Amino acid sequence: MGGSNRETAGQAQERLQAREVENDLIREAQAGSRSAFDALVRQYEHQVLRLALHLTGSEHDAEDIYQEAFLKAYRYIGNFRFECSFYTWIYRIVTNLCLDQLRRRKTRREDHAVVLDRAGDEIDLLAAVSDNRSFSNPARELDRKVLAGKIQEALAKLTPRERMVFELKHYQGLRLRTIGEMLSTTEETAKNTLFRATKKLRAQLAEMR
């Protein structure tokens, strides 16, 4: 759609300034500053948790991925050479950890269609987005939950890589080129994986009808 990617000169300037500030933080963290690293963690922790939680469907797993990702980032921040954005770099670490988690789950044939909290109890994610709607009603809420469950089931049947590409594109809204960079592959491969994922999802959801 026209206009969705346009950026004014002011916005570009702001983005560049923010990038400079971030680069300074990275240099300080590389020089051993813990407070600079903490600032970087604060900047990305919500995005990391959001991605991990939606992908794994488990607060416990999301917390583990968060922990492991930032510890890895801390250990290897000296290797960061400003060849890509820090955002891409940290997402690459997180997506690799999530892929490992999804592969382990496939091997164990676990199939979480619901989100679990630390104690293993089911969390109602939909409640978080539906309570403030004045027109909501119990029947519709039930329909939504059933539908969400079916979609989670269909997503769980994708291969880990297809699941990851669909997640990054559909739910996180990233460009295919960025997804390719994060998954160490080409934009074309990411595009083909997205195509396969949508095709499989449609077939899965049609069967469930």
Q: Where do the H-state alpha helices sit in the chain? A: 9-30, 34-56, 59-76, 86-108, 125-130, 138-156, 160-166, 176-182, 187-208
Give the rounded distance of the alpha carbon of 17 from its chain centre: 25
Give the CA-trace dihedral at 73, 28, 88, 9, to 10 degrees. 160
Would you say 39 and 77 are in contact if contact means Cβ atoms under 8 Å apart?
Answer: no
Q: Does 133 bind another protein (CB under 8 A)?
A: yes
Does position 172 interact with another protein (CB under 8 A)? The reply is yes
Q: Does 67 bind another protein (CB under 8 A)?
A: yes
Residue 66 as a binder of another protein (CB under 8 A): the answer is: yes
User: How far is the first Cα of the chain from the last one, in angstroms, to the nearest whole number?
Assistant: 31
31 touches another protein (CB under 8 A): yes
CA distances from 160 to 107, 183, 208 (A): 11, 12, 21
In whole angstroms, the minimum distance from the beta carbon of 59 to another protein comes to 6
Q: Residue 119 class from Cβ within 10 Å (0-12 exposed, 13-18 middle, 19+ buried)? A: exposed
DSSP 67: H
Please, what's the b/e burial string for 170-183 (b: 16 or more CB within 10 A of its CB; e: otherwise)? Answer: eebebebebbbbbb
| Candidate residues 40, 62, 102, 183; the one interacting with another protein per rule CB under 8 A | 62
Total residues contacting another protein by CB under 8 A comes to 60
* 184 within 8 A of 152, measured Cβ to Cβ: no
Which one among 43, 85, 88, 152 touches another protein, defined by CB under 8 A? 152
Residue 30 Cβ vs another protein, minimum distance, rounded to whole Å: 8
**Is 84 one of the binding residues for another protein (CB under 8 A)?**
no
The region that residue 122 occupies, defined by phi over 0 for left and psi between -120 and 50 for alpha, beta otherwise, is beta
CB nearer to another protein: give 13 or 192: 192
Position among 19, 22, 41, 157 found at the interface with another protein (CB under 8 A)? 41
170 binds another protein (CB under 8 A): yes
Residue of 26, 158, 183, 194 that binds another protein (CB under 8 A): 194
Comparison of 35 and 107: residue with beta carbon closer to another protein = 35
Residues that bind another protein (CB under 8 A): 1-6, 30-32, 34, 37, 41, 45-46, 49-50, 53-54, 59, 62-63, 66-67, 70-71, 74, 78-79, 81, 118, 125-126, 128-129, 133-135, 139-140, 143-144, 147-148, 151-152, 155, 169-172, 175-176, 191-192, 194-195, 198, 201-202, 205
